[in-house]
Amino acid sequence: MSTRTVQFRIYRYDPDKDAKPWMQDISLELEETERKLLDAIVKLKAKDDSISFRRSCREGVCGSDAMNINGKNGLACLTDVDDLKQPIVLRPLPGLPVIRDLIVDMTQFFAQYHSIKPYLVNHDPLPERERLQSPQDRDELDGLYECILCACCSTACPSFWWNPDKFVGPAGLLAAYRFIADTRDQATSERLDNLEDPYRLFRCHTIMNCVDVCPKGLNPTKAIGKIKDMMMRRAV
């Protein structure tokens, strides 16, 4: 593998200039060392500074560069260019309003995350030292706390597309279960009350797109299932 030419089709929309969105075809020479999709997009921007996208850590931990890549949500920095069919079609995350090009308005996504009160609630007097937690209890948080809030999951979820204002979505529900599962948290019943509603939790129809796209390999559907179980057990 040496230098190669790669074809792109990119969603473009600048509200200052464009009446409606359009697709731009671009080809790009990539060096052997330029392996990740983000490397390619950064190079595209060096040629045309109007191409707009978010990016930061370039190692899959900040969650900035989520986008729709050949029809599937993912992080550009973790995606190998050579694994993709050409032309590589890049679109903004589906289901959220587009601000410009690949940049979406994530207000709704974060509002849902905030709605589950994503912070530890514990009413006991603060101990002098750390609260104790066994390694086994701590293990319960694995697969939950690693979420990077990139929104790949929620914007791949049909239930979230239909009801982004009412359905918490996989990312928010994963976070809800992260606190429910934490032995240090004392608000389990309030957290379940907060989700007891035809939409907030129960709009999840286990389509599992969230699991399929999560760049961190997390399983929101499983977490949602556990919340539903708790809800059921509470009811009987």
In the complex, the smallest distance separating the C-beta of residue 55 from another protein, rounded to whole angstroms, is 6
Using CB under 8 A, which of 6, 37, 148, 180 touches another protein?
Answer: 148
Query: Which among 41-49, 81-89, 155-163, 191-199 is the span making contact with another protein, rule CB under 8 A?
Result: 41-49
Tell me: does residue 62 bind another protein (CB under 8 A).
yes
Tell me: does residue 126 bind another protein (CB under 8 A).
yes
In the complex, the smallest distance separating the C-beta of residue 81 from another protein, rounded to whole angstroms, is 13
Tell me: does residue 83 bind another protein (CB under 8 A).
no
Tell me: does residue 14 bind another protein (CB under 8 A).
yes
Three-class SS of the chain: CCCEEEEEEEEECCCCCCCCCEEEEEEEEECCCCCEHHHHHHHHHHHCCCCCCCCCCCCCCCCCCEEEECCEEEEHHHCEHHHCCCCEEEECCCCCCEEECCEECCHHHHHHHHHCCCCCCCCCCCCCCCCCCCHHHHHCCCCCCCCCCCCCCHHHCHHHHHCCCCCCHHHHHHHHHHHHCCCCCCCHHHHHHHHCCCCCCCCCCCCCHHHHHCCCCCCHHHHHHHHHHHHHHHHC
Q: Which two tokens stand for residue 17?
A: 């200039």
Query: Which among 4-12, 144-152, 194-202, 226-234 is the span making contact with another protein, rule CB under 8 A?
Result: 144-152
Tell me: does residue 131 bind another protein (CB under 8 A).
yes
In the complex, the smallest distance separating the C-beta of residue 125 from another protein, rounded to whole angstroms, is 11
Size of site (CB under 8 A) for another protein: 55
> What residues line the site for another protein (CB under 8 A)?
14-17, 33, 45-46, 48-50, 52-64, 78, 99-100, 103, 106, 110, 114, 117-120, 122, 126, 128-135, 137-138, 141, 145-146, 148-149, 179, 182, 184-185
